Structure 1
Amino acid sequence: MTRYGGFVLLSCSLFTTSSLASFYDPVDGQFDMGHHLAENAHGFLPIPILITEPAVGYGGGVAGLFLHETDEEKRQRKQAALSAIDGGAQLVPSAMSVVGAVGTENETWFVFGGHRRSWMNDSIRYTGGGGFGVANLDLYTSINWGPIDHDLRIGTSTSVAVLSQKVQFRIGQSPWMLGIKQLLAKSEIEFDNTVLDRILGNESVTSGLGLEAEYDTRDNLFYPTKGYKLSADYMVYDDAIGSDYNYRNLNIDGEAYIPITQKWMLGLAANYQNFDQQDRLVSPTAKPYVSLRGVSSYRYQGDEIETIQGQLTYSINHRWKVSGFYGSGTAKQDNIVSHDSTINAGGVGFRYQIARRYGLHLGMDYAQSHEESAVYFNVGSGF
């Protein structure tokens, strides 16, 4: 099966005769969106979205990216970009927002928004986002009991409204930040199986609070070329804070970007999640899943998730990059009915630096596992 992810397209309406020159970089003369993104009135970039995902059908939507930079921040970024080919990319906007909406032919739709803001030279940082919509998805569970060894597909339709936010505080001038996280969601899930719908189909509230620690030395927010990021958070979902489901989740993420030579860069990423279920039954989408390019979301869920990825990137020049990647993920089950699953996937891709003064790259990845292949149009490294 071939699966296409969301594709971020640049709006043709931007290319008017009067503004055409602003889409070419004054340093290298290449196509570039950095000037438009920084110099228009509100730092606003319209992003049409095309979805060709067989699981939800064809569809699309639109998003808007807002960079809330002061005139002084814009001046510093522009000066840095004019003085060096990678200038400006290390400067992170103190505030940015995104709003948008998507919909598909199988009646999946979602309206979303998010905001990131920092104060005191990034000593205090707030990140929040939320949305509402309906997701019509297939979930899978492995049945391994005696002579039965079968992957069971479960069709679901979930109406959801969700809010997620966190506040982080930097420790001195170090790369370490500590924070508090919150997630609040109200959902109603329906199953295409009558028995499951009677048992699990209901309206529920999921409420969680947690702590997070983060270490980040990456040289760019959008497309790092060197540095490390390590984050760990522990979330508690409990009826004491208004949740209908009681469980705990530990999530540890790591990324490393290691320059090998001037042209070659090695990227590594790993993830570990531990799901501690307190109730006999929880929402089917609560359990974590293996997240790899070439593997469907929610295809491999488990009580413990372990993934590792590697990506080797070659820079043709400062604009164009090509890469090859490979990863492996394991979903471990804490019961006697389901069995552990391991999935491997790999592929190739390319990136084009679309906004040099921000270090913003976009491109395409082709990934394949033993079950399916997929094409992704990505902004960023792909991790």
Structure 2
Amino acid sequence: MSIVRGLACFTIASIALISELTFAAPAKAFDFSIFVDPEDNYIDASAFLARGGFVPVPVIITEPAVDGGFGVIGQFVGTPQGPGDQPPRTMIGLARTGNGSTAGGIMRSGNLREGDVRYKMGLGKANMTVPIFPFGLDQSIDYSNKNLATFASARMRLGDSDFWAGPRLVYRRTDLSLGADAELGPIASRVRDVINDLFDSKQYVALGASLHYDTRNNPISPTNGINAVFKYDLYDDAFGSDADFGIGQFAVASFTEFGDEWSFGVLSKYKWTSGDNPFFTSPSVDLRGVQSGRYAGDAAYSTEIQLRKQITDRWAAVAFGGYGETRVTDSRLYEAEDDIWTYGAGVRYRLARQIGLDVGLDLAMGPEDSIFYIQFGHAWGREMD
């Protein structure tokens, strides 16, 4: 637990330093008491966030494919309007890896019409060198992708129910490269032949829709309730897209509390593509302990379970395990994979009691690597919406 306490202290110290340098008057010392909860005297960021502050979250990149790296995400989290409501949030992030890849972006989510409309939008730019694992081989091939992407989505509550629905818009421009043939081995040259038509600058534009069901007791770090999300994006030349294809995803996260100390969660996700989708949009197994994009295909399924034990009002421990597989129908680049198992454990600290925000560390073991993760909110936050 001392590691996560150190993370919390580092976060608080970063907040205090940035705030003092940015907002405080030169003659007035920063008041650190704003980071102490008067109810239990523990480190807490609730009061600071309530007055418009932000939490800088360090991002430690541990994947060996990009030679490690580091980044920072500034999280501006507001106070939710009511119990179970999503708090307004703005995230600004920058990252750089050991192989020279860079990425940055901004995302905003919030509520309108007294919480009956929820929206999310983002803009990001990246110059990434990342691996693919073609033809079912263990050997990876690196490719570079200069990528500019933006998206926007909104959903409205259907009557007085827990169902939500709304439109989506996605735009991305890519500039792909794989290197000169003289510098490539036979496997990379084979990959080049397969994806040669993608090397020119391309743009992909999609219109989509989503359907949501949400009964979580806390949208940031839930311990009870269900969050189900169905999304489908259609890329078509009628919208200005250089390729016609579809991407669909269905994810269900379920949480059940057992008494005051135990909570059990299950996340299952299935993602698929149809049509002439570029290889870098292919679904991949998404589990803690699996390198991003390591197992990809025309469809990917993954499920993960997590058991949480609340040790004190502030501290909790988690243990988790997962399984994944991919399916391939007509891909020239990927082969189907199954029996992908992962497991791991972590600790959590309740950094902002009033909005239910946890931070923590996980160590996950997969088929190839052991990977550390810094968590801000729930580990499944990207899949929940």
Does TM, scored on the shorter chain, surpass 0.5?
A: yes
Residue 274 (structure 1) aligns with: 272
- The verdict on how the C-alpha distance between 1:332 and 1:55 changes in structure 2, with shifts beyond 3 A counting, is same
Does structure 2 retain, via aligned residues, the 8 Å contact 1:89–1:358? no
Where do 5+ consecutive residues of structure 1 fail to align? 1-6, 78-87, 144-149
Structure 1: how far apart are the matches of 2:59 and 2:286?
Answer: 22
Point out which structure has higher relative CO (alpha carbons under 8 A, 6+ apart).
1
What displacement does 1:89 show? Answer: 6.8
- The verdict on how the C-alpha distance between 1:377 and 1:302 changes in structure 2, with shifts beyond 3 A counting, is same
Residue 26 (structure 1) aligns with: 38
Where do 5+ consecutive residues of structure 2 fail to align? 1-6, 21-28, 182-188, 381-385
Structure 2: how far apart are the matches of 1:142 and 1:89?
Answer: 49
Same amino acid, percent of matched pairs: 28
Q: Give the TM-score, by structure 2 length.
A: 0.84
Q: Give the TM-score, by structure 1 length.
A: 0.85
- The verdict on how the C-alpha distance between 1:21 and 1:359 changes in structure 2, with shifts beyond 3 A counting, is same
Residue 135 (structure 1) aligns with: 128
> Which protein is richer in helix relative to its size?
2
What displacement does 1:336 show? Answer: 8.1
Counterpart secondary structure, 1:36: helix
Does structure 2 retain, via aligned residues, the 8 Å contact 1:89–1:356? no
Does structure 2 retain, via aligned residues, the 8 Å contact 1:254–1:270? yes
Counterpart secondary structure, 2:243: coil
- The verdict on how the C-alpha distance between 1:153 and 1:61 changes in structure 2, with shifts beyond 3 A counting, is closer
Superposed structure 1 runs of 4+ greater than 6 Å apart: none
Are residues 1:115 and 2:102 paired? no
Residue 146 (structure 1) aligns with: none
Counterpart secondary structure, 1:55: helix
Alignment of structure 1 residues 179-328 onto 2, 5 Å? 179-192=166-179, 194=181, 195=189, 196=192, 198-277=196-275, 279=276, 282-328=277-323
What displacement does 1:228 show? Answer: 0.3
Q: Deviations over 1:118-146 (max 9, x none)?
A: 11221112110111120110011234xxx
- The verdict on how the C-alpha distance between 1:226 and 1:326 changes in structure 2, with shifts beyond 3 A counting, is same
Structure 1: how far apart are the matches of 2:352 and 2:278?
Answer: 41
Does structure 2 retain, via aligned residues, the 8 Å contact 1:154–1:192? no
Counterpart secondary structure, 2:130: strand
Q: Deviations over 1:324-345 (max 9, x none)?
A: 1111011011138654212111
- The verdict on how the C-alpha distance between 1:328 and 1:130 changes in structure 2, with shifts beyond 3 A counting, is same
Does structure 2 retain, via aligned residues, the 8 Å contact 1:181–1:212? yes
What displacement does 1:65 show? Answer: 2.3
Are residues 1:379 and 2:373 paired? no
CA RMSD of aligned residues (A): 2.3
What displacement does 1:43 show? Answer: 3.1
Q: Select between 11-20 and 115-124 the one with higher mean Cα deviation.
A: 11-20
Q: Deviations over 1:360-381 (max 9, x none)?
A: 0011111112222111111123
What displacement does 1:53 show? Answer: 3.7
Q: Deviations over 1:29-76 (max 9, x none)?
A: 11111122223xx3333444443442223433333222456xxx7xxx
What displacement does 1:358 show? Answer: 1.2
Q: Deviations over 1:215-271 (max 9, x none)?
A: 000011110011001110111111111111211122000000101222111100000
Q: How many residues align?
A: 349
- The verdict on how the C-alpha distance between 1:370 and 1:109 changes in structure 2, with shifts beyond 3 A counting, is same
Structure 2: how far apart are the matches of 1:375 and 1:48?
Answer: 12
